[in-house]
Structure 1
């Protein structure tokens, strides 16, 4: 599932560049997070506080545990 999380329209989204699983993409001028890919590592939060806060605020620790 994807959701729009940032519309600051930065020239280069730092959060997108540090995402190890490539869960962040641009779509029509808005940065979109693929919640299925996101592992909740917090790298985006360290790169961009505004972006990372929105990503991580609604994720519960249980949502990061993948079924084997």
Structure 2
């Protein structure tokens, strides 16, 4: 779930659906496993930080925007 205030929460599938509609084609989307991020993190600081933030994608986090 994406923590977008006022939107009631968007799933990743919904974001892909909306993006496909805007782009006019369906992009190829693959999920990345935590071990893959760790491997990429060896040479890329951003990927190393993504591993630290992985818990945010583990369960829905919704903000109310207030």
TM score, norm. by length of structure 2: 0.30
TM score, norm. by length of structure 1: 0.29
| Rg comparison, structure with higher value | 2
Report 1 or 2 for greater relative contact order, CA contacts < 8 Å, sequence distance ≥ 6.
2
The structure with more helix, counted as a fraction of residues = 2
